[in-house]
Amino acid sequence: MWVMGVAVVLGAGCARKAPSEADRVPPPTVPAHTAASGKLVFEAPPGWLVQSPQTGMRVAQYELPRAEGDSENASLVVYYFGPGQGGSVEANLKRWMHQMEQPDGRPSEERARIEKMTVNGLNVTLLDLTGTYRAEIMPGHGARYHKPSFRMRAGVIETPRGPYFVKLVGPERTVNRWDEAFMAFIRSMRFQ
């Protein structure tokens, strides 16, 4: 008798139709860089090559074609780590400055140009620095780049959902070539 009751219960469960495609509602997905109340939007200048972001922390990634005579292209990445994440403006400026060595051995802090501005209501802090690029190839692994005559343009964009970070690195001539486009990119940023 007990076996019959289990069979009836199991049979009743099997008689149910599987939900059709129309009945299935996928859970809403929100990209990591998007918050319900807004996100940073921007316009890439003509000539920049869009790349697929390599990690979920990267909102956008671009390759900037090299200037004549340079051996490689420049790279620009926009990062977002989440509300309140990624460190302070000062901590990021310091970290970026330590990624560049100066040929004369002076501290990069002495050569760095820092500019503060407001763009479409957002506080923006920009860093401009040349030297030998010595950032870690992969964070935490110790191996470092050694790229002399490089230039870094980096910035922190403060939004209502937390900071976004922009980092442009490449051969100095190539970054010089795209300098006006970089500033147009920064000026295009708005939170909506």
Q: What is the CATH number for 166?
A: 3.40.1000.10
Is 7 contained in some domain?
Answer: no
Is 35 contained in some domain?
Answer: no
> Across the strands, what pairs with 144?
136
Is 71 contained in some domain?
Answer: yes
Is 21 contained in some domain?
Answer: no
- Nearest CA to 168 out of 144, 121, 135, 138 is that of 135
CB 154 within 8 A of CB 127: yes
Is 113 contained in some domain?
Answer: yes
Rounded Cα distance between 113 and 17, Å, is 67
Q: Which domain holds residue 169?
A: 48-191
pTM: 0.79
Is 104 contained in some domain?
Answer: yes
Supply the pLDDT for residue 113: 99
Is 17 contained in some domain?
Answer: no
C-alpha triplet 22, 27, 32: angle, nearest 5°:
145
Q: Domain tally for the chain?
A: 1
Supply the pLDDT for residue 91: 98
Supply the pLDDT for residue 140: 86
Is 32 contained in some domain?
Answer: no
* Tens digit of pLDDT at every position of the chain (192 positions): 444 444 444 444 444 444 444 444 433 333 444 444 799 999 999 999 999 998 999 999 999 999 999 999 999 999 999 998 999 999 999 999 999 999 999 999 999 999 999 999 999 999 999 999 999 998 888 899 999 999 999 999 999 999 999 999 999 999 999 999 999 999 999 999
